[in-house]
Amino acid sequence: MNEALNTALMLMGVGMTTVFVVLFLVVLVGNGLTVFVNRYIPETVPIDVKKASQTIKPGKLAAISAAVEIFTEGKGVITRIDKID
């Protein structure tokens, strides 16, 4: 009985350590990827409001801009507005 309990505890310890290491690597790679993308991938250019206002009514453009501003908490940028058929 004692030998079986020792084996079970050893297997549980190895399993928990493996899960901890794998989750640590996932977090480390995710943070590294975030830093890499923020540093080396350029931001998109904001939309030209004058050009967009020629094809979209000003009220709709203001509503879209306000919705994006609220939803992204000021971090989002509208790059293009296309009409979907």
Check whether residue 58 and residue 30 sit in a common domain: no
Give the chain's count of helices (H) and strands (E).
3, 0
Report pLDDT for 19. 98
Q: How many domains does the chain have?
A: 2
Tokens 């923020």, residue located: 38
- The predicted pLDDT at position 47 comes to 61
- Residues 48, 36 share a domain: no
pLDDT in tens, 16-74: 999 999 999 999 999 999 999 988 887 766 666 555 556 777 788 888 888 888 888 88
Domain range spanning residue 21?
1-41
Domain match, 35 and 7 both: yes
Same domain for 62 and 28?
no
- Return all residues near 80 (Cβ < 8 A) that are at least 6 apart: 47
Please check whether residues 24 and 52 belong to one and the same domain.
Answer: no
Same domain for 52 and 27:
no
Confidence label for 13 from pLDDT (cuts 50, 70 and 90): very high
